[in-house]
């Protein structure tokens, strides 16, 4: 079986396209095997993308985290799937279904944009002591669970240690959460680091995390609700902007996609 290795601003995936209507359940174990950094292909997640219809352009996209769990939303996985549908089928705009939610996607020059739906926001959801300072985490649901803390210097955080602590916090068990640390980075810009549940590691970028960061940063007055640049660990910024017709509910997240290589699974 052919696969693509692809990343969305550093968030990397094994991508399988057009497999036909298979049972997704068997892919949990396969995701764990393929994503293993030493013994597999190595990735943050496995994407399975199926073209449902050409006109209108509709894709069904499933994303598994590296530990085999299902991601209910993955902005970068959706962006990778849209990129591949553009390459394979010439689609420029499409509708993507992931975990029962509809997302729009637009391929525009070097950027691929997808929509994320913003759900419940809860200020001061959790607290942790970071570098000796009590720090609040606000939660923002952007299709999956995210908490966001505003800190002075994201580079000075042990993102894996603190991320893991928060991810397993008793107050949010058993679901857990993705954990984001942000700081202001000038006019309409943020710097971010993200610890991802299901990968159980820091990832280089996270689409739904970038949207959660903008929601929380807007709430905290760090940015205004317009276009925001999110500087990540990959050095390949994502851009978040409100949707034109439903700006409070939906955000676009866009950025580069890199197709690294193709291969054949043994």
What are the Cα distances from residue 180, in Å, to 149, 214, 258? 6, 11, 23
254 binds ligand API (CB under 6 A): no
The owner of tokens 């902005």 is: 75
71 binds ligand API (CB under 6 A): yes
Neighbours of 135 (CB within 10 A): 18
Q: How far apart are CA 198 and CA 225, in angstroms?
A: 30
Report the residue from 10, 163, 207, 255 that binds ligand API according to the rule CB under 6 A.
207
218 binds ligand API (CB under 6 A): no
In the window 4-23, what residues touch ligand API (CB under 6 A)?
A: 11
Report the residue from 41, 48, 74, 157 that binds ligand API according to the rule CB under 6 A.
74
Q: Which residues contact 41 (CB under 8 A, 6 or more apart)?
A: 3, 5, 14, 34, 35, 263
Of residues 31 and 130, the one with the C-beta less far from ligand API: 31
- Residue 103: helix, strand or coil by DSSP? strand
User: Which residue of the set 17, 35, 63, 74 is catalytic?
Assistant: 74
Query: x/- contact string, 161-180, with ligand API (CB under 6 A)?
Result: -----------------x--
Active site residue 206: yes
Q: Which of 98, 77, 86, 88 is nearest to 35 (CA)?
A: 77
Which residues are part of the catalytic machinery? 74, 206
Note the residues at the interface with ligand API (CB under 6 A).
Answer: 11, 65, 71, 73-76, 144, 178, 196-199, 203, 206-208
């Amino acid at each position: 079986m052919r696969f693509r290795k692809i990343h969305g601003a550093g968030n990397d995936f094994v991508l399988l396209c057009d497999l036909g209507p298979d049972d997704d359940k068997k892919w949990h174990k396969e995701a764990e095997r393929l994503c293993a950094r030493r013994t597999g292909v190595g990735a943050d997640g496995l994407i399975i993308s199926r073209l449902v219809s050409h006109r209108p352009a509709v894709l069904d996209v499933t994303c598994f985290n590296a530990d085999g769990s299902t991601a209910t939303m993955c902005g970068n996985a959706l962006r990778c799937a849209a990129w591949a549908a553009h390459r394979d089928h010439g689609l420029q705009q499409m509708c993507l279904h992931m975990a029962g939610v509809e997302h729009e996607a637009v391929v525009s020059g070097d950027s691929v944009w997808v929509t994320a739906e913003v759900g419940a926001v809860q200020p001061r959801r959790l607290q942790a002591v970071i570098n000796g300072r009590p720090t609040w985490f606000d939660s923002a649901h952007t299709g999956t669970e995210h908490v966001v803390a505003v800190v002075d210097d994201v580079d000075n955080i042990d993102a894996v240690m603190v991320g893991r602590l928060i991810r397993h916090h008793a107050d949010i068990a058993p679901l857990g959460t993705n954990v984001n640390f942000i700081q202001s980075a000038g006019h309409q810009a943020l710097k971010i680091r993200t610890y991802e549940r299901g990968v159980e590691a820091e990832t280089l970028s996270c689409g739904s995390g970038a949207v959660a960061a903008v929601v929380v940063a807007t709430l905290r007055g760090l940015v205004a609700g317009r276009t925001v640049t999110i500087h990540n660990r990959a050095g390949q910024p994502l851009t978040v902007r409100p949707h034109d017709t439903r700006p409070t509910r939906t955000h676009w997240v866009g950025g580069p996609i890199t197709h690294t290589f193709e291969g054949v699974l043994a």
